[in-house]
Amino acid sequence: MKPFIYITRKLPQDAVEPLKQEYQVEMWEREDVPVPRDILLQKSQKASALLTMLSDKVNEELLEHADALRVVANLAVGYDNVDLEAAKQKGVVICNTPDVLTDTTADLTFALLMTAARRIVEADRYIKEGQWKSWSPLLLAGADVHHKTIGIVGMGNIGEAVARRAKGFDMEVLYHNRSRKPHAEEVLGAEYASLDELLGKSDFVVVLAPLTPETHGLFQKEQFQAMKKSAFFINAARGPIVDEEALTEALKTGEIAGAGLDVFVTEPIDPDHPLLSLDNVVTLPHIASSSTETRHAMMNLCVENIQAVLKGDKPKTRVE
């Protein structure tokens, strides 16, 4: 019997063809709906490899009955959906897709910042709803981006890529991270700051930190109160880093000027969520790495990692 591989979302056939040539491959046939939990648990019991999405919980419940499982390739740079300790105890290799999505995610993050600042979505809707009757001096006037201060919370590879884009707009770059980044300071002129200092000085606060016990709920009412009233909050990391009730209140009361959000505590977000009713919020459906080129590169990397582990070789991007 060939090893069995289960893929938890429908992917293009050309992406999975290399696996089909060597292994028994089955794939959930929906692009827009996650695989039901009971089906994932059932398939995992006989799988040698799983190719998973962020919406799939690879936890102790799944791992305890997955006796044949050797590798989980997560189609994301993050892996907060995976219980690393439980996987380690079971001897299951966990892989992710870093690096290949860095620039694409940074592009989207900076686009989100600019869209929120310059009121792009409002302006598009203004025309399409037939409201544009004449030109006026302050029609949909937004905030400048150039020569402002950006504060990056989480200075990993994506944070550094965003900082490079910010320098192209002559922005001053502050950053807060678990550890100092001498390379970013030397090459990009980024300046390390405490979180409180960053919040107080930044015109744009951009969250790119991983979701960890330390960052979970990092942004509460106090953090938004510490920001400038003219500042914008951008989150392209993970939703649970932010108290959404506190963010909603800050946006409603003018505690901050606006927000750009690619991630939410619960995804998909409820269409009736209060954040979605605010004109000073730009929202995206967790698409930071979603370019055709990058998503295919991520799929290919997952396939290569699975092939490597099943053949007894070292995977390219193992989560240690």
Give CA–CA dist 173/40, Å, rounded.
Answer: 44
Q: Describe the chain by its helix, strand, coil percentages, rounded to 5.
A: 35, 15, 45
**pLDDT value for 135:** 93
Give CA–CA dist 54/78, Å, rounded.
Answer: 8
Q: Render pLDDT for 154-164 as a digit per residue (tens, 0 to 9).
A: 999 999 999 99
The two domains 4-99+292-310 and 102-283 share their CATH topology (first three levels equal)? yes
pLDDT, average across residues 82-102 = 97
Domain 102-283 of CATH type 3.10.20.600: no
Q: Render pLDDT for 241-279 as a digit per residue (tens, 0 to 9).
A: 999 999 999 999 999 999 999 999 999 999 999 999 999
Residue 238 designated active-site: yes
Q: Render pLDDT for 157-197 as a digit per residue (tens, 0 to 9).
A: 999 999 999 999 999 999 999 999 999 999 999 999 999 99
Domain 4-99+292-310 fold is Rossmann fold (3.40.50)
Residue 183 designated active-site: no
Q: Which of 9, 119, 165, 286 is catalytic?
A: 286
Q: Map out the domains of the chain as residue ranges.
A: 4-99+292-310, 102-283
Residue 267 designated active-site: yes
Confidence bin at 31 (pLDDT 50/70/90): confident
Give CA–CA dist 221/99, Å, rounded.
Answer: 33
Calculate helix-pair angle for 102-117, 157-167, nearest 10 degrees. 50
Q: Which of 9, 70, 238, 295 is catalytic?
A: 238
